[in-house]
Structure 1
């Protein structure tokens, strides 16, 4: 279920921000996540996976190793991967029900 996968991925990003200990970062990510999830659902190419699980696992591994530079690099690469997967050159191929997309 693609919608559920995108929603759960968004929840992962929110949890990661909350665990950072920065209330400002957590708030910003909580506010941006619904919009990001919607953009992924609306503009992601059907064959692409916006948030591959291996990228999340690699990020967790870097955090566990306390590899700050590696975690920052992985997160930057992850966000760039998401951005590259978006098809922003035209209208979405399917209509998106906002409530269904965001709330499942």
Structure 2
């Protein structure tokens, strides 16, 4: 999802994925020189990627201070989850007024992937859980709505990386299953209620318990995200 094509975008894609999968934690410094060496690109190319991520709220880019993964405050966390409730309520309402068969087929196929990596690959499981919500928005056919949901889901990944307590991914998987069932039944009220409960459950797993961040080896982490011949 959301792959790009120009020269600076493989760097953007990799950084964004590493942040969403919580491999790069909030507060982690993102030095342009080491990232450039990792991807064999110029610092200008790296900066272009960082500027775009800064615009999306995933990176904090400060003049003369460099870039780091954004560190959301607890106030921002509550605001973002409130906005997410509004967006995903609209997604549920639209999907329940559409032809259910192709929607449910796509969602169930995604659920198979979520189950496949449950308790097997934590980073991929985190990403797939977020992509479930992005897929829901994409299936409405509204590019604008999908873009907004994409951005806010990504920012929620940062919130969870900073504040979330440990929990079983099975919880989210069961909740996704209930959401699909409500959509399949064409019951908008039920679908909205299930989504509301699901997002509250995700929010309830978050705790104000930040630990010391920023000491990760960025080059080593990003090396895992390099696509051959990109």
Please say whether Structure 1 and Structure 2 have the same fold, judged by a TM-score greater than 0.5: yes
**Residues 39 and 2 (structure 1 numbering): CA distance in 2 closer, same or farther, change over 3 Å?**
farther
Number of the residue aligned with 2:140: 20
SS in 1 for 2:166: coil
Moved more, 74-83 or 31-40: 31-40
Unaligned runs of 5+ in 1: none
SS in 1 for 2:210: coil
- Kept in 2, the 8 Å contact 1:62–1:71? The answer is yes
Alignment partner of 1:69 out of 174, 189, 196: 189
Q: CA RMSD in A?
A: 2.5
SS in 1 for 2:145: helix
- Kept in 2, the 8 Å contact 1:18–1:26? The answer is yes
Moved more, 34-43 or 12-21: 34-43
SS in 2 for 1:62: helix
**Residues 26 and 12 (structure 1 numbering): CA distance in 2 closer, same or farther, change over 3 Å?**
same
Number of the residue aligned with 2:127: 7
Distance in 2 between residues matched to 1:38 and 1:69, nearest whole Å:
30
Matched pairs, number? 99
| Larger helix share, 1 or 2 | 1
Deviations 1:16-47 (A, max 9, x none): 11112333221101111221112223321123
Distance in 1 between residues matched to 2:126 and 2:158, nearest whole Å:
9
Unaligned runs of 5+ in 2: 1-120, 226-230
Deviations 1:40-70 (A, max 9, x none): 2332112354962010010011101111110
1:81 is the counterpart of 2:181 = no
1:31 is the counterpart of 2:161 = no
- Kept in 2, the 8 Å contact 1:44–1:50? The answer is no
Larger RCO, structures 1/2 (Cα 8 Å, 6+ apart)? 1
TM-score normalized by structure 1? Answer: 0.79
- Kept in 2, the 8 Å contact 1:40–1:86? The answer is yes
TM-score normalized by structure 2? Answer: 0.38
Distance in 2 between residues matched to 1:35 and 1:50, nearest whole Å:
22
Distance in 1 between residues matched to 2:146 and 2:161, nearest whole Å:
22
